[in-house]
Structure 1
């Protein structure tokens, strides 16, 4: 079954896509042939509208309606650029993740799936996170359901790390998965505020700076890092206003601020790698391309070997799109797409809602058991 996964994460810079042809074997191994990966940037006007609707900015229902439509149309446009698939699984764009006192009370992803179904004519699985939240979970990181069978069979204590706007870590041995804190969210916010550019290309600005230990210590004192998993966060906490409030009194130049923020990402992630005594960490996400962040990780977690997810057949820039292709395959086959120990839900749940395509809705026969292992090529 060919499933197109569509994903836009907390960097809200565009839409990643992946078409994977999934085949289940009798031995419990699910093989995925990655036939296509791609990325479509948001149009500048749409990205600006998304940024303007993110916390701490106020929004009205007219903006919500427009964004739901425009993001849905952008996802449909991205889908049209991909090879044909039997099913589409669309994450949409997270606009708000409602967390109070460490508990997730709601989550909102926009991008109306009817635009995708109408344009492509095939069924669309969408709105995956809220079912886990309704069962008491965090709705994140859903990628943990993909990480566990992907890492099965790796020697030693392995973990999976995704460095997007927010960093998340999956540790199969426990199992546990959670957001460790910001990866590029604060770095990108600082660059955008100072230069108007969306990010620090190749970490060049951060590489020219020096870490300010006083600011780093204040950033590390945020209560989020002391919370125990399961836990999740987003730009509802780690946004430009947060950064301005904490960093403004130090009056650092941009290079020193970015070097300090790279050290924050490095230390908050490395602390969790050390805590779980991981010896192999499979890394994906845009942060892999920031050598300053990666150097901080290696320096602060010297006992771990960092392995790009590409070496397991999963292109690092497309990992989450591939993971959502897998989650769509699970839903289509009547299988749960959550791991309660990772999200904190009261039990495993089949995720998402299904929007039919143009013809009658026909899904495969349900399967009795989850795949034990994933093999990607």
Structure 2
């Protein structure tokens, strides 16, 4: 079964896609990763999306417009991918998270926009979407959903391993023997991107190659204030997003310090915040391997900082495990689509905190009858990814 996974993450910079051919054999699931791509949002759409995100107020009219425009962008990306890789049996669209409602350390709701009917209409392929909410209704956080992929990829790793995704938010899955837990650590690129974008530091909206951070110096007082965030002290499972970690959050921290460092020093400090919070949690997990994916793994300041802070831990990109670091989340949602299509849960309770595993998503039919594979009674025990 060939599944096209699609996601725009918390960096909200564009759409990542991955086509994966899955074949199950006993307890082993093999996935051949074919076409992968990343399509940036049009500049005007990204600016409009950023302007509507919390803590900014947004009207229902604007949400409706963005739901359509983002859905059409996803449809464009799906159509382009299918033209490259050939027909697919299912499209899985995560859409764009615009609000993740956490209150009292519990997830209460989540909203991803990007109307899937535009994808189904354009491609004629059934679309699985709205994949997070079912886990939340079962008491989970609806995040990090990539933990189901991490468990299958790393379960056999002796000594325990952790999978770290450095997107807008840093999330980690810890796998040891048959045990798994996962949670959102805190900001990875979210605060860095917010400052780089708002101050027009390079015209890209992110710190390419960590160059800005490398040119600055860490501000000890500001770092102290940032590390005092109560979220870091909460027990897992837990989830967060740009509802907490946004530009206004940085401005409030600066106001508390009473001074304003140079732009490069500010970026260096926010980068060090990512290194410190991640390294602390990896040490607490007691693993000997850290498998890193997401845009942050292309930032040498973050990666060198993690290696320096984690002596004795093998820090490597997820590419070494068959999951290209830039495409891992899209691959994870393709996997969730395969699981849902076969009637299998796409969550691990230890990964999200839900009462029990749940089959995820809502299906939008394609051009013809909705035909699903025969259900499987037993989920796969491991996954091998190849190109």
For residue 171 of structure 1, give the secondary structure of its aligned residue in structure 2. strand
Deviation at 1:250, TM superposition (A): 2.6
Would you say 1:175 and 2:184 are equivalent positions? no
* Equivalent runs, 1:46-125 vs 2, <5 Å: 46-82=45-81, 83=85, 84-125=87-128
Deviation at 1:303, TM superposition (A): 2.5
Would you say 1:3 and 2:9 are equivalent positions? no
Would you say 1:337 and 2:336 are equivalent positions? no
Would you say 1:30 and 2:37 are equivalent positions? no
Deviations 1:163-214 (A, max 9, x none): 0000000001241100000000000011111115411111101001111111
For residue 244 of structure 1, give the secondary structure of its aligned residue in structure 2. helix
Once residues 70 and 338 of structure 2 are traced to their aligned partners in structure 1, the CA distance between those partners, rounded to angstroms, is 23
**What residue is the counterpart of 1:280 in the other structure?**
289
Q: Residues 262 and 296 of structure 1 are in contact (CA less than 8 Å); yes or no, is this contact kept in structure 2?
A: no
Structure 1 runs of 4+ with >3 Å offset: none
Provide the TM-score with structure 2 as the length reference: 0.96
Once residues 25 and 288 of structure 1 are traced to their aligned partners in structure 2, the CA distance between those partners, rounded to angstroms, is 33
Once residues 182 and 317 of structure 1 are traced to their aligned partners in structure 2, the CA distance between those partners, rounded to angstroms, is 18
Q: Which moved more, 1:298-307 or 1:82-91?
A: 298-307
Gaps of 5+ in 1: none
Once residues 182 and 103 of structure 2 are traced to their aligned partners in structure 1, the CA distance between those partners, rounded to angstroms, is 19
Deviations 1:326-348 (A, max 9, x none): 00000000000011111011111
* Equivalent runs, 1:222-371 vs 2, <5 Å: 222-248=229-255, 249-371=258-380
Gaps of 5+ in 2: none
Q: Which moved more, 1:87-96 or 1:248-257?
A: 248-257
**What residue is the counterpart of 1:199 in the other structure?**
206
Deviation at 1:136, TM superposition (A): 0.8
Deviations 1:74-122 (A, max 9, x none): 0000001112211000000000001112111100000110000011001
Once residues 118 and 239 of structure 1 are traced to their aligned partners in structure 2, the CA distance between those partners, rounded to angstroms, is 35
For residue 199 of structure 2, give the secondary structure of its aligned residue in structure 1. helix
Deviation at 1:138, TM superposition (A): 0.3
Deviations 1:132-157 (A, max 9, x none): 01111100000001100111222221
Once residues 70 and 286 of structure 2 are traced to their aligned partners in structure 1, the CA distance between those partners, rounded to angstroms, is 41
Once residues 188 and 145 of structure 2 are traced to their aligned partners in structure 1, the CA distance between those partners, rounded to angstroms, is 17
Q: Residues 270 and 297 of structure 1 are in contact (CA less than 8 Å); yes or no, is this contact kept in structure 2?
A: yes
Q: Structure 1 residues 234, 274: closer, same or farther in 2, change over 3 A?
A: same
**What residue is the counterpart of 1:42 in the other structure?**
41
Once residues 259 and 159 of structure 2 are traced to their aligned partners in structure 1, the CA distance between those partners, rounded to angstroms, is 43
Aligned residues: 376
Q: Which moved more, 1:150-159 or 1:230-239?
A: 150-159
Deviations 1:213-260 (A, max 9, x none): 111111010000000000000000000111111124330001111111
Once residues 7 and 250 of structure 1 are traced to their aligned partners in structure 2, the CA distance between those partners, rounded to angstroms, is 38
For residue 198 of structure 1, give the secondary structure of its aligned residue in structure 2. coil
**What residue is the counterpart of 1:149 in the other structure?**
152
Deviation at 1:49, TM superposition (A): 1.1
Once residues 289 and 341 of structure 1 are traced to their aligned partners in structure 2, the CA distance between those partners, rounded to angstroms, is 29
Q: Which moved more, 1:331-340 or 1:302-311?
A: 302-311
For residue 159 of structure 1, give the secondary structure of its aligned residue in structure 2. strand
Could you say what the CA RMSD is over the residues aligned between the two structures, in angstroms?
A: 0.9
Once residues 275 and 311 of structure 2 are traced to their aligned partners in structure 1, the CA distance between those partners, rounded to angstroms, is 12
Provide the TM-score with structure 1 as the length reference: 0.98
Would you say 1:133 and 2:140 are equivalent positions? no
Once residues 11 and 131 of structure 1 are traced to their aligned partners in structure 2, the CA distance between those partners, rounded to angstroms, is 24
Once residues 254 and 333 of structure 2 are traced to their aligned partners in structure 1, the CA distance between those partners, rounded to angstroms, is 36
